[in-house]
Structure formats: structure tokens, C-alpha cells
């Protein structure tokens, strides 16, 4: 039985898997079992923030694994305390953090925080949470219900009550009532199709929610940890959310989620927990990721690469008007909207044949989420191959 058969016979088939067999990587370059190189413009869906095969991250993980991987949250965990402090310092927010293991789980915790807030603050019990259409908040029952894509809700009800979907930011105001406790949004919708929110609209929303004592939860699972060029997208939008969730890029590939909140006493003893959350291995990895990215940002290299990447994508959008409508996105979260009669999936497939990895988002967007440490040479090679793929369409 070969590996593909093994996968198909024994792994539950929930993914439209490509049977490319990657075996190692170096920054933005992936190598398959035959030794062919691929340029990775997807970074494992915004996860491998410091690139593949990063020596510093690997050394930190190995060092930690040789000492302690896990002791449980019943005892002091040095890298967890240090990571919580770094997240507060780097973000510039006066927050405490709870550590989880994934994006969905971080959002679950954020929703629990909001529900508790609605129970203990104010005269009437508030429980309603407004989210946006085309949002994505994860796959657990509650995070899925928070996700404003009805098609994803098939089969899995009954769901927890209290989630309503706004068409856009302006529509949120119409949905607010006495029972509303929180609004949860992505500042740049990722899975929904690389859709940035308007800065002014978001600022106005943040102000209005504050004045009504409604919590603003920002799902930064994809936008967080320098993906937009700033530590958090909330920094870029110049807002101070009540709760921010993180996951994807934080551990550089090691599973970790985090919930940052300015409401430092919102959950008390025993009101939330996680066996694995914040263990030695994941928090040590995240500390190293933050150190690497902070240096990368400070040196100017990150901003330089962002500009180059954007320029290159804009040129491609202009050069192939039959395929693309426009270029969209922020920082290293970018996309090309394909024209009505074209399929984003076809572009992604053609790119893979030319050995450049790009992703699909929403219905009609080719998505680019490069590793944040991508070099100019890697970019050039990737775009050269991408253009070759386009001319084959």
C-alpha cells in the first residue's frame, strides 16, 4: 500500500488533499520526495510565519523538548509567563492572556468571556453576539455557529443560541439590542476572501461599542503576529479591542492559541482551562517566533518585503486583466480576485503544476500568505513561476 492509499483508506477524508509529498523546507522553499523545489506562498495557511526549517525555532523547540514539554497548568510554566508578558508588551495593550491550542478554541474562550461579562455586568442578562457574514471563526460547534456562512452549518445543529449575522459593519448597528453583549469580527476576513474592513468604519464601531458597554472581540487568528505588517491588525486599525484571539502564526507551526483581554478579572478560578494550553513546548516556540519576527520588523526587512510583494501582485493584476479583476489585501495577507468566468481553483491548480503554492479563499480569490521572512529571491522565483502558470490558463 502506498502512502496515498494509506491516507485514503485510514484518514477520514475531510480535506480536498493534494498528493504532493513535501519532505522538507528552507524558508519559503518546500522540497518534495523527488527533490523538486516549490515556492511556498501559503505558509501552511498563515502558520509558518518564520519559514520552514527555521534553525532558531528548531533549536528552541529541541532545547525545550529535551528539558520539559509539559507539566500541566497546575504548576508554574516559565515560558508561558514570559510569553504572556511579551504579548502585552509587543501589542501595546494592557492585557492578560489565556493560552489555548487552536484558533477555534481561542474563539470559544473569547465567547465564554463575553457570556460571563453579559451575565455579571449590566441590569439584564446579555448573551447576543453579532458576527459578520462571510466570517470564519473555526470548526467547533460554537465557533462554527459564530461563523457567518450558513452553508457550513448544515447537519450540525442544534447550535447554541444567540448568534446573529450582520451583512457589513454598518448593519451591526441595526442588530444591536438590549441583549447584545459582544461583536466579534476579523479586521481582514481571511477564509471569506481576503476582505479588509474600512479603518474609519472599524474605529467608529469600536467607539460606539465602548459607549454602550458592548465588548469588541477581534479574531486575529489569521491577521495577528505581524501578518499585516504590525504586531496585530488591531494596532494597524488603531483600536483597543476588549478581547483579541490569536493562533495560526504565533507558534510558527507548533499548535498554540491565545486569548488576550483588557478585562483582566473576567474569568476566575476554575471557570476556564485547558490540559495542553500554554505548555512548555508551545510557549517556548512562540517566544522564539516573536523574537525572530521582532528583529525582522525592527531591521526594516519585513516592511521592505511587504512593499515589494504588493508591487509585484499589483503588476500581475494589471498584466492579466482577462484573469484578474483586482488585487486586494493588507500586508502579507493578499489576494487576486478572479474575473466572473474564471475559477480561482484553476489558478491554484495551475500554479502548483509550476511549483508555486498559492491558496484559494472565498469563492473567487487566489490568496497569498507568504512566510513573513520571505526573501526577494524567493519572491522573484515564485512570481516567475506564477506568471508561467497564468500563461498556461
Ligand X SMILES: *Cc1c(COP(=O)(O)O)cnc(C)c1O
Select 234 or 355, whichever has its Cβ closest to ligand X: 234
Q: How far apart are CA 285 and CA 179, in angstroms?
A: 40
Question: Whose Cβ is closer to ligand X: residue 126's or residue 248's?
Answer: 248
The yes or no reply on residue 102 touching ligand X (CB under 6 A) is yes
3 state SS of 215:
strand
253 or 350: CB nearest ligand X: 253
Nearer to ligand X, 104 or 209 (CB): 104
Q: Which of 40, 108, 191, 242 binds ligand X (CB under 6 A)?
A: 191
Q: Quick check: 195 binds ligand X (CB under 6 A)? A: no
Taking the C-alpha atoms of residue 120 and residue 202, their distance in angstroms, rounded to an integer, is: 27
CB 32 within 8 A of CB 14: no
When asked if residue 219 is in the footprint of ligand X (CB under 6 A), the reply is yes
Closer by beta carbon to ligand X, 220 or else 387: 220
DSSP-assigned letter for residue 157: P
Least Å from the CB of residue 231 to ligand X: 17
Q: Which residue minimizes CB distance to ligand X?
A: 103
State in angstroms the smallest separation of the CB of 184 from ligand X: 10
Candidates 44, 109, 138, 370: give the one binding ligand X (CB under 6 A): 138
Subset of residues 220 to 239 that bind ligand X, contact rule: CB under 6 A: 221-222
The span from the CA of 257 to the CA of 282, in Å, is 9
DSSP secondary structure letters along 10-74:
HS---S------EEEEEBTEEEETT--EEEESSHHHHT-TT-BT-HHHHHHHHHHHHH-S---TT
Part in contact with ligand X (CB under 6 A); list of ranges 22-30, 185-193, 303-311, 337-345:
185-193
Output the smallest distance, CB 220 to ligand X, in A: 7
Stretch that binds ligand X, among 109-117, 166-174, 214-222, 352-360 (CB under 6 A): 214-222
Binding residue for ligand X, selected from 117, 127, 136, 309, defined by CB under 6 A: 136
Measured from the CB atom, is 143 or 267 closer to ligand X? 143
Q: How many residues bind ligand X (CB under 6 A)?
A: 15
Binding residue (CB under 6 A) for ligand X from 39, 83, 104, 330: 104
| Contact in structure between 355 and 34 (CB atoms under 8 Å) | no
The alpha carbons of the chain give a radius of gyration, in whole angstroms, of: 21
Closer residue to ligand X in complex, CB, 44/79: 44
Site stretch for ligand X (CB under 6 A), options 59-67, 88-96, 102-110, 325-333: 102-110
Cα–Cα distance measured from residue 195 to residue 189, given in angstroms and rounded to the nearest whole number: 5
Asked if residue 103 lies in contact with residue 245, where contact means CB atoms within 8 angstroms, the answer is: yes
In angstroms, rounded to a whole number, what is the distance separating the alpha carbons of residues 64 and 149?
40
Element (H, E) at 261: strand 257-261
Termini Cα distance of the chain: 35
Q: Could you tell me which of 269, 249, 265 has the C-alpha nearest to residue 257?
A: 249
Three-state SS at 129: strand
Of the candidate spans 77-85, 99-107, 124-132, 317-325, the one that interacts with ligand X by CB under 6 A turns out to be: 99-107
Query: Per rule CB under 6 A, is residue 137 in the interface with ligand X?
Result: yes
247 is a site residue for ligand X (CB under 6 A): yes
Positions touching ligand X (CB under 6 A) are 102-104, 107, 136-138, 186, 190-191, 219, 221-222, 247-248
Amino acid at each position: 500500500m502506498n502512502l496515498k492509499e494509506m491516507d485514503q483508506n485510514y484518514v477520514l477524508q475531510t480535506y480536498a488533499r493534494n498528493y504532493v509529498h513535501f519532505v522538507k523546507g528552507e524558508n519559503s522553499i518546500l522540497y518534495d520526495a523527488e527533490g523538486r523545489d516549490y515556492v511556498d506562498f501559503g505558509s501552511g495557511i498563515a502558520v509558518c510565519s518564520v519559514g520552514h526549517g527555521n534553525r532558531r525555532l528548531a533549536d528552541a523547540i529541541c532545547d525545550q523538548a529535551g528539558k520539559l514539554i509539559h507539566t500541566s497548568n497546575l504548576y508554574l510554566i516559565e515560558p508561558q509567563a514570559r510569553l504572556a508578558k511579551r504579548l502585552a508588551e509587543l501589542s501595546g495593550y494592557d492585557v492578560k492572556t489565556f493560552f489555548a491550542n487552536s484558533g477555534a478554541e481561542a474563539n470559544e474562550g473569547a465567547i465564554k468571556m463575553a457570556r460571563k461579562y453579559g451575565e455579571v455586568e449590566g441590569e439584564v442578562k446579555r448573551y447576543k453576539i453579532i458576527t459578520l457574514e462571510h466570517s470564519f471563526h473555526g470548526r467547533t460547534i460554537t465557533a462554527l455557529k459564530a461563523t457567518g456562512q450558513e452553508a457550513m452549518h448544515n447537519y450540525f445543529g442544534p447550535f447554541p443560541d444567540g448568534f446573529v449575522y450582520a451583512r457589513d459593519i454598518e448593519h451591526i448597528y441595526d442588530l444591536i439590542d438590549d441583549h447584545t453583549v459582544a461583536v466579534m469580527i476579523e479586521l481582514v476576513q481571511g477564509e471569506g476572501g481576503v476582505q479588509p474592513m474600512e479603518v474609519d468604519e472599524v474605529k467608529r464601531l469600536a467607539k460606539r461599542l465602548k459607549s454602550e458597554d458592548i465588548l469588541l472581540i477581534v479574531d486575529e487568528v489569521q491577521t495577528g503576529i505581524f501578518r499585516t505588517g504590525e504586531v496585530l491588525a488591531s494596532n494597524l486599525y488603531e483600536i483597543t479591542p476588549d478581547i483579541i484571539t490569536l493562533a495560526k502564526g504565533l507558534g510558527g507551526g507548533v499548535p498554540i492559541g491565545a486569548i488576550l483581554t483588557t478585562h483582566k478579572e473576567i474569568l476566575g478560578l476554575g471557570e476556564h482551562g485547558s490540559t495542553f494550553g500554554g505548555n512548555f513546548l508551545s510557549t517556548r516556540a512562540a517566544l522564539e517566533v516573536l523574537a525572530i519576527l521582532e528583529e525582522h520588523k525592527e531591521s526594516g526587512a519585513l516592511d521592505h518585503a511587504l512593499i515589494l510583494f504588493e508591487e509585484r501582485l499589483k503588476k500581475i493584476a494589471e498584466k492579466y486583466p482577462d484573469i484578474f479583476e483586482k488585487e486586494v489585501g493588507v500586508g502579507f495577507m493578499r489576494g487576486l480576485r478572479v474575473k466572473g468566468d474564471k475559477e480561482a481553483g484553476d489558478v491554484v491548480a495551475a500554479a502548483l503544476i509550476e511549483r508555486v503554492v498559492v491558496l484559494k479563499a472565498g469563492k473567487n480569490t487566489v490568496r497569498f500568505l507568504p512566510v513573513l521572512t520571505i526573501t526577494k529571491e524567493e519572491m522573484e522565483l515564485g512570481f516567475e513561476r506564477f506568471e508561467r502558470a497564468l500563461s498556461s490558463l
